[in-house]
Structure 1
């Protein structure tokens, strides 16, 4: 027990410091010119324990809601299933993202354990030195453990080797992950629009295939089809010209078909001879 006498007004700000009163209660501040006997005690905080839930609202539900956050939302999963081409590219992008994050995590953990190894060794050596100094100072009383009793700690395990092995395994894992990395060419990429996080980028990523299909359809109907038609027309014209060039026209002779044509020709020939 210690005697405490307050000569000046003492006010302690805060709700966790109290003083005793004559009626058995507690004061938040000691009154001026107070004197009495005090001791160190444990103050039980004002905690109320409810064995069962009396009521339930949206603020106090019966069951705790699930608070973990997934990587992909339900809407993105639905779109990935509805549009397989977009879902495949989106999954590949998420896998690359997780791979990079896992590499960074492995590197950070490895650096942390590597920095922890010398610190643990230094703390262990310092504690041993302090233990030796306390044993020397308390040698007349039987040493430190004789003063502390059964709760005296006499052994500090050396885990520097275990941490070093852990760091080596992490470095090996990081090296294996680095082997799977793919060097990406710098500059602009055609698939960069798939990685836009803005809602406009997502809308564009969904509308881009339709736009590309419409553009290709317009090009096909306005350019490709007329070109094909023109080529077919020219090919048919060339083939027809070749066929007409190979066709031989026969001379037309009407006298052979007329009755008495042979006699008339003979007479005309004889007359021509007489005239000569």
Structure 2
């Protein structure tokens, strides 16, 4: 049995547009969550480095944190990937975003075949209307006289 919507192209188009909108919303929400995580990661990195500096200051007589723990690796390095993550989420948003396409109705210019500018077209249109009236009225007078009798 055919699904009834499969027979209607406009239904299918509406479903595609709906899926596209849902995909864009999900992508934006995911990108927002990744941005928040990147911000928190940067904040945590800064806090850890500040705490390490304070501990090194307090334990300066003993050689800092590394001296106190007998650790030969005296350099604490925490990479800040927040900017990279934010750049990636920016690209994700660009990929998922579909710009709004304005509706263009059938803008037929019935008088595009007429020569000249707008005022010339209007004058020609009025002239054509007058000619049609002069042709139409003589045909209608006998009909009206028969209708009255």
TM-score, normalised to structure 1's length? 0.31
CA offsets per residue over residues 160-198 of structure 1, 9 Å max, x none? Answer: 2202211220231233x234x676xxxxxxxxxxxxxxx
Partners of 1:141 and 1:88 in 2: CA distance: 80
The residue that corresponds to 1:56 in the other structure is none
2:30 to 100, 103, 109: 109
1:144 to 56, 62, 65: 65
* 1:157 CA displacement: 0.3
Partners of 2:24 and 2:36 in 1: CA distance: 18
* 1:154 CA displacement: 1.4
- Is 2:83 the counterpart of 1:161? yes
2:99 is paired with a residue whose SS is helix
CA offsets per residue over residues 26-59 of structure 1, 9 Å max, x none? Answer: xxxxxxxxxxxxxxxxxxxxxxxxxxxxxxxxxx
Give the greater-gyration-radius structure (CA). 1
Partners of 2:102 and 2:30 in 1: CA distance: 23
Structure 1 residue ranges, 4+ long, deviating more than 6 angstroms after superposition: none
Superposition pairs of residues 32-71 of structure 1, within 5 angstroms: none
Partners of 1:84 and 1:112 in 2: CA distance: 38
Partners of 1:146 and 1:132 in 2: CA distance: 14
2:47 to 116, 123, 126: 126
- Structure with the bigger RCO (C-alpha within 8 Å, sep 6+) is 2
2:94 to 141, 166, 172: 172
The residue that corresponds to 1:23 in the other structure is none
TM-score, normalised to structure 2's length? 0.52
- Is 2:2 the counterpart of 1:83? yes
Superposition pairs of residues 4-43 of structure 1, within 5 angstroms: none
Which one has a larger percent strand, Structure 1 or Structure 2?
1
1:173 is paired with a residue whose SS is helix
1:178 is paired with a residue whose SS is coil
Partners of 1:151 and 1:87 in 2: CA distance: 69
1:125 is paired with a residue whose SS is helix
CA offsets per residue over residues 126-148 of structure 1, 9 Å max, x none? Answer: 11110011111222222212333
RMSD over equivalenced CA pairs, Å: 3.0
Flag structure 2 segments of 5+ consecutive residues without an equivalent. Answer: 104-149
